[in-house]
Amino acid sequence: MANIYLSNDNLLSIEGLRNASSGSYMNDATSTATLKDADGNVVTGQTFPVTMTYMSGTNGNYQATLENTLSMTPNAKYTATISATSSSGLYAEWDMELTATKRTA
């Protein structure tokens, strides 16, 4: 389980998005993410879904910023639901489990 840092901008990433059938990288997908709490409620403090932007020159890498204004509780569990739709219409969705953590030095 990954951390999401309280009162910080956080980078949410997809690395190496591929077509499972052909193995080719998907550099032209439309990808979004929504952050939900343990009860399935969308977290407040940012408008969701957020668009995950393709990182030019990479093999299927996408990123979005989760803003420091998110209303989260320390040590609480959250789920980022990520979806991607390729230009040919292939669709994938998965969850990333996150724990809200105070960043320390």
Q: Which tens digit of pLDDT belongs to each residue from 7-47?
A: 999 999 999 999 989 999 999 999 999 999 999 999 999 99
Q: What is the pLDDT of residues 55-100, one digit of tens each?
A: 999 999 999 999 999 999 999 999 999 999 999 999 999 999 999 9
Please count the structural domains in the chain: 1
Range of the domain at 43: 2-101
Burial 69-99 (b: 16+ CB within 10 A, else e): ebebeeeeebbbbbbbbbeeeeebeeebebe
* CATH code at position 88: 2.60.40.10
Distance in angstroms between the alpha carbons of the first and the last residue of the chain:
20
Enter the tokens of residue 54: 């393709």
Q: Is 21 helix (H, G, I), strand (E, B) or coil?
A: coil
